[in-house]
């Protein structure tokens, strides 16, 4: 088993925490994992991203050139990372910020998630990243959703633990979106 992913968006969208949670979930499942936040020279409003590699074998490098999966939270991230996804790979898109007509890559599985709208159903639009993460995990099967939820405890600072139940609900809503197609 080998899975690698680039997660990207604007600073403040929770991109790094998404990657961190995914890495902790893989660790819970006794998989080998690397997590690498990438802090570029972009000015405010630029893309922030991280890479996560999950495998059942030793991982040679956390650097990803042609990912199996990309999760993009905004249009600049789609433009930067969408073309890198390998043929047959998975492209998960935050449809609340990226218009459908901008997703024009052939040979990829695409999943457009209306994250803001689904997060509002849960009760807090700031949970859009957790909705997308739940949808991406459900679609890819890289880890179990229950592992993702348990990963919230070590991944989040204690001061945010009061929000864990809401985060879990947001992950569930993203997974349900994939299961039911809505």
In the predicted model, is pLDDT for residue 11 greater than 80?
yes
Query: Is 96 strand, coil or helix?
Result: coil
The residue-averaged pLDDT of 98-125 equals: 94
State the Cα–Cα distance between residues 150 and 52, nearest whole angstrom. Answer: 18
Residues 53-77 have a mean pLDDT of 94
For the record, the structure tokens of 155 come out as 């991944």
Q: Report the pLDDT value the prediction gives residue 83, as an integer from 0 to 100.
A: 95
Q: Is 45 left (phi over 0), alpha (psi -120 to 50) or beta?
A: left
Mean pLDDT for the stretch of residues 107-113: 95
pLDDT per position as a tens digit, 46-64? 679 999 999 999 998 889 9
Q: What's residue 77's pLDDT?
A: 94
Please state the pTM of the whole predicted model: 0.93
Give how many domains the chain has, as a whole number.
1
Range of the domain at 62: 2-180
pLDDT number for residue 43: 52
pLDDT recorded at residue 108: 95
pLDDT at 46: 67
Residue 92 is part of a domain; what is its CATH number?
A: 3.40.920.10
Q: How many residues would you count in the chain? A: 182
pLDDT computed for residue 12 by the predictor: 83
Strand order in the sheet with 109-113: 32-38, 47-55, 2-10, 69-72, 90-94, 109-113
Percent of the chain at pLDDT exceeding 70: 96
Q: Which DSSP letter does residue 86 get? A: P
Confidence at 34, pLDDT banded by 50, 70, 90: very high
Query: What pLDDT, in 10s, does the model give residues 114-154?
Result: 999 999 999 999 999 999 999 999 999 999 999 999 999 99
Whether the pLDDT of residue 105 is over 90: the answer is no
Which stretches does DSSP call E strand in the chain? Answer: 2-10, 32-38, 47-55, 69-72, 90-94, 109-113
């Amino acid at each position: 088993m080998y899975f690698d992913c680039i997660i990207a968006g604007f600073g403040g969208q929770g991109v790094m925490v998404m990657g961190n949670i995914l890495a902790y979930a893989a660790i819970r499942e006794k998989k080998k994992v690397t997590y690498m936040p990438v802090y570029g020279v972009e000015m405010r409003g630029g893309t922030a991203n991280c890479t996560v590699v999950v495998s059942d074998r030793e991982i040679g490098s956390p650097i990803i050139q042609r990912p199996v999966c990309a999760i993009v939270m905004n249009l600049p991230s789609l433009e930067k990372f969408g073309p890198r996804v390998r043929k047959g790979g998975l492209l998960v898109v935050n449809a609340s910020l990226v218009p459908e007509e901008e997703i024009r890559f052939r040979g990829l599985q695409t999943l457009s998630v209306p994250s803001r709208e689904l997060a509002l159903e849960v009760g807090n639009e700031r949970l859009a990243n957790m909705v997308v993460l739940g949808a991406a995990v459900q679609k890819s099967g890289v880890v179990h959703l229950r592992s993702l939820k348990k990963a919230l405890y070590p991944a989040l600072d204690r001061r945010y633990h009061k929000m864990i139940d809401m985060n879990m609900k947001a992950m569930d809503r993203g997974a349900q979106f994939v299961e039911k197609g809505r």
